[in-house]
A = this chain, B = another copy of it.
Amino acid sequence: VLANRVIERKRDGAELDEAELREFLDGFLSERVSVPQMSAFLMAVLFRGMSRRELETLLSVMIESGAVLDLSSVPGAKVDKHSTGGVGDKVSLALAPLVAELGVPVPMMSGRGLGHTGGTLDKLESIPGFRIDLDLRRFREVLTSVGCAMIGQTAEIAPLDRELYALRSATGTVPSIPLIAASIMSKKLAEDLDGLVLDVKMGRGAFLADDQRAVALARTMVALGTARGVPTVAVLTAMDEPLGRTAGNALEVVEAIQCLRGEGPEDLAEVTAALAGHMLELGGKASSAAEGERLASQALAQGQALDRFVRLIEAQGGDPSVVDHPERLPRARHAGDVFSSEAGVVQGIDPLALGWGVVELGGGRTGRSDPIDPSVGFEWQVKRGDSVHPGDVIGRVHARTPAQLERGRTILAQAVSLADAVPPPALPVVRRVIRAGDPTID
A residues apposed to B, CB below 8 Å: 3-4, 7-8, 11, 34-44, 46-47, 167, 170-173
Contact = CB atoms under 8 A, between A and B. Distances in A.
Contacts of A37: 39, 170-172
A374 to B, nearest CB: 26
B4 A36 contact: no
B4 A172 contact: yes
A4 B35 CA distance: 16
Contact of A43 (B3, B11, B167): B11
Nearest to A169: B4
A11 B38 CA distance: 16
Contact of A47 (B7, B36, B47): B47
B172 A40 contact: yes
Contacts of A7: 171-172
A309 B167 CA distance: 53
A38 B36 CA distance: 8
Contacts of A35: 35-36
In the complex, the count of this chain's copies comes to 2
A17 to B, nearest CB: 17
A171 B42 CA distance: 11
Contact of A44 (B3, B4, B38, B43): B43
A207 B392 CA distance: 71
A352 B272 CA distance: 64
Nearest to A45: B43
A167 B40 CA distance: 10
A209 to B, nearest CB: 14
A150 to B, nearest CB: 31
Contacts of A170: 3-4, 34, 36-37
A171 B36 contact: yes
A37 B167 CA distance: 9
A406 to B, nearest CB: 26
25 contacts: A4-B172, A7-B171, A7-B172, A11-B46, A11-B172, A11-B173, A34-B170, A35-B36, A36-B36, A36-B38, A36-B167, A36-B170, A36-B171, A37-B39, A37-B171, A37-B172, A39-B39, A40-B40, A40-B43, A40-B172, A41-B172, A43-B44, A44-B47, A44-B172, A47-B47
A51 B47 CA distance: 19
Contacts of A40: 39-40, 42-43, 171-173
Given A7-B171, A40-B42, A41-B172, 12 more contacts: A4-B170, A7-B172, A11-B46, A11-B172, A36-B39, A37-B172, A39-B39, A39-B40, A39-B43, A40-B40, A40-B43, A44-B172
Nearest to A4: B172
Contacts of A39: 36-37, 39-40, 43, 171
Contacts of A3: 170
Contacts of A38: 36
A44 B39 CA distance: 11
A34 B167 CA distance: 11
Nearest to A174: B8
Top 6 A-B pairs, shortest CB-CB distance: A7-B172, A40-B171, A43-B43, A36-B39, A39-B39, A40-B43
A7 to B, nearest CB: 3
A36 B171 CA distance: 7
A41 B42 CA distance: 11
Contacts of A43: 11, 39-40, 43-44, 47
A151 to B, nearest CB: 30
A7 B37 CA distance: 16
Contacts of A36: 35-36, 38-39, 167, 170-171
